Amino acid sequence: MSQVEGRNPVLEALRAGAEINKIFVQRQSGGSLKHIYDAAKQAGVVLVETDRKNLDNMSEGRPHQGVIAHISVEEYVDLDELIVRSKMSPHPLLVVTDHIEDPHNLGAILRSSLAAGAQGVIIPKRRSAALSPAVSKASAGASAHLPVSRVANIAQTVVKLQESGYWIVGAEAGGENLFQTKLSGPLAVVVGSEGQGVSRLVREKCDLLVEIPMQGPLGSLNASVALSVVLFEIVRQRL
């Protein structure tokens, strides 16, 4: 069982048709949770009213905003299944995270990936944030809509994606100018960890490295922000 916390993540889980066991809501919350009440009633989901102290004790992530949902679903999808789903799209696009450890960064990556039309995100099993209430909250509900695959080895996964017809694009300093690089066909964008960037072994396996031209004294962007820039340059070119 997984847990989703916060009004927008819970509402998005309802809209996505997630198999929700129960939704716990704070008593006397008034009309602020009306959309969740209405969506839960329409979906036939049990609502349990409780006090704020109990919700505080249940909470595992960021502020729950008076609502927590218990969901009985498999959180991760098999990599082969994710590839099949992606290749069914006219514009296959996957995101690969190379050891993103901050759950808020991972949540932001899920949100940007969904907004850019990616079909899924791939994360490693070790040295990485996993799906959690904090990630769901940071994703603003995107985690309820976007498939996530968890793999043992990112470098091997990159090779598998190449064998499946994907062009692997690493977001890394020292690469080609992002805005002067043609990005077409099935793509998998690799974003590295907050401190180290894309690991050496994974970097060597990328078909292409791209960097964002930077202005001013700062030499880099937050990982989720950098990924967003790359993803929406892909969207721009595809449009």
pLDDT digits (tens, 9 = 90+) for 181-215: 999 999 999 999 877 889 999 999 999 999 999 88
Final residue before a domain boundary, out of 18, 44, 71: 71
222 and 205 in a common domain: yes
Beta bridge partner(s), residue 23? 47, 69
47 and 10 in a common domain: yes
115 and 49 in a common domain: no
Question: Could you tell me the CA-to-CA distances from 152 to 102, 104, 109, 166 in Å, in that order?
Answer: 19, 22, 20, 19
Question: Could you tell me the CA-to-CA distances from 189 to 12, 50, 95, 168, 212 in Å, in that order?
Answer: 25, 43, 5, 6, 14
Q: Quick one: pLDDT band at residue 78, thresholds 50, 70, 90?
A: very high
CATH number at residue 24: 3.30.1330.30
221 and 132 in a common domain: yes
187 and 92 in a common domain: yes
158 and 83 in a common domain: yes
| 218-225: long-range contacts, CB 8 A cutoff, minimum separation 24 | 219/173, 220/173, 222/105, 222/194, 223/100, 223/105, 223/109, 223/191, 223/192, 223/193, 223/194, 224/105, 224/106, 224/108, 224/109, 224/112, 224/191, 225/108
158 SS3 class: helix
Residue 191 confidence (pLDDT): 96
97 and 65 in a common domain: no
The pLDDT of 52-64, averaged and rounded, is: 83
Residue 74 confidence (pLDDT): 53
Q: What domain range includes position 167?
A: 79-238
CATH number at residue 92: 3.40.1280.10
202 and 115 in a common domain: yes
pLDDT digits (tens, 9 = 90+) for 106-158: 999 999 999 999 999 999 988 888 887 778 878 877 888 899 999 999 999 99
Residue 30 confidence (pLDDT): 63
Residue 73 confidence (pLDDT): 52
Between 75 and 146, whose confidence is greater? Answer: 146
152 and 228 in a common domain: yes
103 and 47 in a common domain: no
Final residue before a domain boundary, out of 34, 51, 71: 71
Q: How many folded domains does the chain comprise?
A: 2
152 and 233 in a common domain: yes
Final residue before a domain boundary, out of 71, 89, 105: 71
227 and 195 in a common domain: yes
113 SS3 class: helix
Sheet with 46-50, edge to edge strand ranges: 2-5, 67-71, 20-26, 46-50
